[in-house]
Each structure stands twice: as C-alpha cells, then as structure tokens.
A and B are shown apart, each in its own frame.
Chain A
Amino acid sequence: MKNRMSPMKKILLYTFLSVGVVVSVFPFYWMFVGATNPSGEIFNIPPNFLPGTHGWENFKNLNENIGIIRVMGNSLFITISFTALSTLICTAAGYAFAKFRFKGRNQIFFMLLVAIMIPYHVTLIPLFEIFSVVNWLNTFQAVILPQLSYPFAIFLMRQNMQSIPDSLLEAARVDGAGEFHIFFRIVLPVMRPALAAVAIFLFMFQWNNFIWPLVVLQSQEMYTFPVALSSLVGMSRIDYGQVMMGTTLSTLPIMIFFLLLQKQFISGILGGSVKE
C-alpha cells in the first residue's frame, strides 16, 4: 500500500472535514451567543458573533416567564425515574428471553419485535383516553408509564445477555444462590457496559420526548423542556434571548455528559448498533 497522500489531497480532505465540523458545531455556538445576549442582539446587522454578558438576565426573565428551574426539575425527575425503571424492567425481560426456556417465550418475544415497527403515534389517542379515565392527565406518571416496557431495549438486552455463559448461572445455582440473587449480583454486574448503553438510549429518548408530553401535560408547572421550549416559541412576542437560554439549558447537561463519555454515548444513542 502507498504510505503517503499527496499534500494537495491532504489539504482537500482537511478542508472538507473542517467545513463539515463548522456546520455541525456552529449552531451550538450560535445558541450560546444568543443565550448570553439581549434578545435583539443576535438579529443585528452585521451580527454580533461574540458571547455577551446578558446570560443571567435572560435566565432570570426565563424563570419568571415559564419557571425554567421548575421545568428543569420536572425533566430531571421524569427522565431519571423513567430511565431507572425502564432499564430494570427491560433488562429483566431481556435476561429471561436470553437465558431461560419457558412456554410462550418465542411468541411473546415475537410480539415485542413486531411492536418495534409500530409507530408510537398509533397509541397516542387510546393512551390519552386511558389517562383521562383514571384522572391522570397532566401528571408525571402519565409521561413515565407508557414507554416503560421499551421493546427495542428488551431486544438489545436479550442480544447482550446471550453472551453470559450458562455455566456461570448453573454454578451459582449449585452453590444455592437464589434466582434474584443471581440476577442482581451476578448478571447485572457482568452486563455493566450494555446497561450503560441501554440506559443512555432510554435517557435520551425521554429527555427529548415531545409529542406525548405535549399531549398529556397541560399546565405550565408540569412542562418538560421540549414542551416548555415549544410554548416559548408559540408566544406572540418571542424573546429570543430567553428562547436560546432555554435551549442551552436543555442541551448543555447532555453535551457535557456526551463529551465525558463519548464512546458509551455514541453506542447508547445508536442503540448499541455500533460497538467499540
């Protein structure tokens, strides 16, 4: 193989990629510029390309306007409880599908696989009816409950669980370990990387979840980030400084996590389809 690339080609390669990087990353920078300047500033001609000092002001106004601190709390509470519960439920099911033979196993698993294909929008209206019958519209559980059993996550966990050697489980049983003990003390620790990927996948799903919370959350003090942001944009007079501060607040924590845990994140968001 040739071991060198002509300088011309190298320049082309780096130029192409650098342009791509600027396009990918610039909108984030622009968001930050908008969040730290007064509302009109990002619309100046010529535009102001530098971050300003108006960030705290925007934050205060935003909090007065839609209670962004509360929104942040709502999003965190909903997303964290959803992620914890869903990871546990899907992992347990994946474990059963991968490591046990039982009547109905293939039928149930097939049903879950079919569900991956069904758009979740089909369920919106009956879900709305269910939650209005039990008087749970505009509650956190209405956002958390419907997707707890997430077929794709179950599928992923089953795939990953298949790598656990049966002999390991048998040995534990011979030693007299209970089934729950085996699951929590042996299986889960071994599965840590897969658990992280699935948890990140579920976390991102719920953090960004929009249409269902939009339907079911009806008052401002219950809003999650996406719903709150969309209500800001829907206002007759949009304060862009506030809007950009809101989008920054919803994006920044994820971005920091992403930069810290790049590999797990990429594999998680892609649903484990890319492994490293």
Chain B
Amino acid sequence: MGQNKVQEVEKKPQQKRKQNRWITPKTVPYLFVFPAVAFFLVFTVYPVISSLLLSFQTREGSEYVFSGLDNYIRLFQDTLFYKALGNTFLILIVQVPIQLFLAVIIAVALNSQFLRMKSFFRVAFFMPAITALVASSIIFMILLDENYGLVNYLLSLVGIEAIAWLSDPFWAKVALMVAITWRWTGYNMVIFLAGLQNIPASLYEAAEIDGASKLKQFFYITLPQLKPIFVFTFVLSTIGTLQLFDEPYILTEGGPNNATLTITLYLYENGFQYFDFGYASAIAYVLVLIIGVLSWAQMKWAGDDE
C-alpha cells in the first residue's frame, strides 16, 4: 500500500513534465475548436459575406463595380427566374407530400407486428438512398428513354402509347419527380419507422380496450404522435427540394424549354456558364431568403402546440 503511494507520487511529476504548460483545461477548448472555426471562417463565413457584396455588383470590363439593387431588379423582371422558381415550388408542393405519404404508409406496413423479414424489407427500401444522385438520375434517364426505355416498353404491353418522358414539358417534370421520389422515399421511411417505434404501445392497448378500429387508431394515435417527425422530414425535404440540382442537370438539363429549370440550376448557369457572378449571387441570396422564411414558418408551425 505504502509502496504504491510512493510510486504514484514519483510518476506524477514525470507526466506533468511531458505536458506543455500552455495546454491547460482553460486554453485547450480554443485549440480544439480552432481548426473548425478557422476553416469555417475562410470557406463559409467569408464566401457568404462576399457573395452578398457581389450581389450588389455588376461587371464592367474586368472589374466588378457597385451597382446597387440592379441585379435584384433584373431578377424580378426575369421571366426565366420566375420559371425556375415556379418549377421548384411545383415540385415542392406535388412531390414532397407524395413522397412523405408513401414513406408513412410503408413505415406503418413495416411496423406491423405480423410482418416477418422486417430487416430485409427495411434494407431493400433504404437501398436507393445510398446511390449518388448523379447515378440514380442516369439510371432513370435510361429507364425512361422515350423510344427504347424499359418503362415505355412495359407500358406498351398494357396498350399505353410511348410517353415522351424527357422531351415533353409536362412529362419531364413527372420524370424528375419520379426519380426524386425513388431516391428519397426509403430515406424518409426509415425516419418515420423510428418515430413509430417510439410511440408507446400502451396508447394502442388503451384504444383497443375502448374498441377503436385500426383505422381510427391510425388517425387518432399514429398520425398525431408522428407530427414532430412530419415536421422534421418536411423541413429536410423542403430544403433539399429548394436546392435541387443534380437530378435536373443530368436527367433533363433543365429542359425541354426550361420546363425543369430549378433555382440552383439557373444559379449554376449564370455563375459558371455565363460567368455573371453578380447576378448568380443575387439568385443565391434570394434562395437563402426563401429557405430562411420557409424554415422559420415550418418551425413556427411545429412549435404551435408545444
């Protein structure tokens, strides 16, 4: 016992010596956050501010000069921008609810106590979420080929005429939404499934005793209990949809006739095809504003009854 004590006392100063005297519990948190903060300042904060400034500038010769609200005024008179905005919101309003609805239905089915091979189903449904958006868009481009695609072939078997998936303005939007739905439904489903598993079984047991039907249980227990998950997935999908780029870039290149032009695609075209950095920055800031307002509104809605 006594010997042990002596050893410890001897050990301590030895270890202390190895340490730098500047690294103490007081200073060390700064060292730990420093790399993250430094990279963040250089590669996020500076660009965010710089692009705000850039959005008030236009190029004259090789110089960018202050031009006030010119870019924003141009933006609000730009029919293509409205088109991009309209397309993006159309996808948001049509595709996101369909995708979340499918996700909930599949999650409820997978949560059924009578189902076997649950993990097999879960993995299979989640699989699309591991593919690169570029890859999944390419696969759909090939599946939906107008003349030779498999989808049109299968439709022809049941007597439906070939659909111009990628060259008709209406069907191109549908094709885009199909590809996005395929990629993201399983992802959202897993989130819902986790939510379902957190609903206390006692709620259902009580309802069962009161004689509530399965359908009633779904509407009066399952859906209300899932509300936070709905808000979460809805916010995620909204932010994702507003930034939609990879899919329309690959699948339709924004066409035909800009029918699938999205906000970020338009931003990319202006920034890196026409190299109009000022104008592209203004588009980016309108996007920031939209995302900010929508996220705030959704959070507000979520916080309503808590």
Contact = CB atoms under 8 A, between A and B. Distances in A.
Contacts of B127: 24-25, 28, 255, 258
Given A20-B125, A147-B43, A247 B186 contact: no
B2 interface: no
B36 A93 contact: yes
A177 B90 CA distance: 58
Contact of A176 (B12, B46, B245): B12
B65 interface: no
A30 B129 contact: no
A23 B182 contact: yes
A24 B191 contact: no
B89 interface: no
A140 B51 CA distance: 23
Contact of B125 (A21, A95, A96, A112): A21
Q: Secondary structure at chain B's binding surface: helix, strand, loop or mixed?
A: helix
A211 B264 contact: yes
A125 B138 contact: no
Interface string A118-152: 11111111111110000000000000011111010
B36 A27 contact: no
A179 B28 contact: yes
Interface string A180-196: 10010000000000000
A42 B142 contact: yes
A180 B143 CA distance: 53
Interface stretch (A51-59, A61-69, A97-105): A97-105
Nearest to A105: B29
Interface in A218-276: 225-226, 229-230, 233, 240, 243-244, 247, 250-251, 254-255, 258-259, 262, 265-266, 269-270, 273-275
Nearest to B131: A251
A4 B42 CA distance: 61
Which residue, B115, B119, B150, B246, has most C-beta atoms of chain A within 10 A?
A: B150
Contact of B39 (A89, A204, A269): A89
Contact of B288 (A25, A122, A244, A274): A122
Given A123-B47, A126-B46, A247-B138, A93 B121 contact: no
Given A89-B36, A211-B268, A230-B250, A129 B50 contact: yes
A13 B114 contact: yes
Contacts of A97: 33
A43 B132 CA distance: 23
Given A115-B44, A119-B242, A274-B190, A125 B182 contact: no
B300 interface: no
Contact of A100 (B28, B122, B272): B28
B246 A43 contact: no
A24 B130 contact: no
Contacts of A45: 148, 153
Interface of A: 1-2, 4-5, 10, 13, 16-17, 20-21, 23-25, 27-28, 30-31, 34, 42-47, 89-90, 92-93, 95-97, 100, 102, 105, 108, 111-112, 115, 117-130, 145-149, 151, 154, 173, 176-180, 183, 204, 207-208, 210-211, 215, 225-226, 229-230, 233, 240, 243-244, 247, 250-251, 254-255, 258-259, 262, 265-266, 269-270, 273-275
For the complex of A and B, the 8 pairs showing the least CB-CB separation, nearest first, are A43-B148, A126-B47, A93-B36, A100-B29, A123-B47, A96-B32, A149-B39, A126-B50
Given A17-B121, A43-B149, A149-B35, 12 more contacts: A2-B208, A34-B142, A46-B153, A96-B28, A115-B40, A117-B291, A118-B291, A122-B48, A211-B268, A269-B129, A270-B187, A273-B191
12 contacts: A21-B121, A28-B127, A89-B39, A119-B242, A121-B284, A122-B47, A125-B54, A129-B50, A233-B141, A254-B131, A273-B232, A275-B194
